[in-house]
């Protein structure tokens, strides 16, 4: 996963896709998020469950433990290692969902600049990405060190031609199980290891190279271009 995504719908559209009956504590706002070209360090809407309330907060994309020094905060965590590695141990129990509309990858097709592709669900529904993070809970105020990472897995099928890694995307019922603090860690690990949505769930197409500049925004970035 190359580290660029879109999150342009309103939070209520994402919550509706999740189909959770819980009360919503919405710190994101009522308007469409309109992030068509979100890069690492961007605050993104993050959903997590606490005290039987679904929380929607803006949390920075990227996190590193305090002992990791000045290295750039990772934005992704490999599903094969995340549950048992030392780096993400502190946030592995803090499970969340990053709801997005799609993400971008860049492919070397022989031109001086790589060709960007946009990946989305074939049915047009929001994409529910498994994540873990550090964020405000139990009345704690947000902190400068807060952030989250998206869990990624190996690509499969035709998506391998676009990139060798992709987000772990969960169906709504599995996303709800992932969010539930009562779900044991062992079960949560199995969900992200074995039950992510298959590559056949998605389609992908070339988009304008303007998306390479993070200052460019707008729905026109998502339009397919001729091959």
- Find the catalytic residue in 34, 105, 141, 197: 105
Give me the residue label for tokens 């339009």. Answer: 223
Mark whether 186 is an active-site residue: no
Residue 47 buriedness (CB in 10 A; 0-12 / 13-18 / 19+): buried
- Displacement of CA 226 from its chain's centroid (Å): 28
Buried b (16+ CB within 10 A) or exposed e, 102-134: bbbbbeeeeeeeebbbbbbbeeeebbbbbbbbb
Q: Which of 2, 16, 177, 189 is catalytic?
A: 2
Instruction: Output the six-digit token pair for 7.
Output: 């999150």
Can 200 be counted among the known catalytic residues?
Answer: no
The catalytic residue positions are: 2, 105
């Amino acid at each position: 996963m190359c580290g660029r995504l879109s999150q342009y719908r309103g939070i209520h559209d994402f919550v509706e896709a999740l189909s959770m009956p819980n009360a919503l504590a919405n710190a994101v706002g009522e308007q469409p998020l309109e992030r068509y070209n979100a890069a690492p360090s961007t605050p993104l809407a993050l959903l997590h469950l606490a005290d039987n309330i679904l929380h929607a907060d803006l949390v920075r994309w990227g996190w590193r433990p305090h002992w990791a020094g000045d290295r750039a905060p990772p934005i992704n965590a490999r599903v094969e290692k995340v549950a048992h590695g030392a780096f993400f141990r502190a946030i592995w129990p803090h499970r969340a969902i990053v709801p997005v509309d799609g993400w971008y990858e860049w492919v070397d097709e022989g031109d001086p600049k790589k060709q960007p592709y946009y990946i989305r669900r074939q049915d047009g529904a929001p994409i529910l990405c498994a994540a873990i993070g550090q964020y405000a809970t139990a009345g704690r105020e947000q902190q400068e060190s807060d952030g989250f990472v998206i869990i990624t897995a190996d690509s499969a099928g035709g998506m391998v031609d676009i990139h060798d890694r992709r987000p772990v995307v969960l169906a709504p019922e599995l996303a709800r199980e992932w969010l539930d603090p009562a779900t044991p860690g062992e079960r949560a690990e199995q969900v992200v290891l074995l039950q992510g949505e298959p590559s056949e769930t998605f389609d992908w197409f070339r988009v304008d190279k303007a998306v390479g500049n993070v200052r460019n925004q707008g729905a026109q970035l998502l339009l397919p271009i001729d091959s």
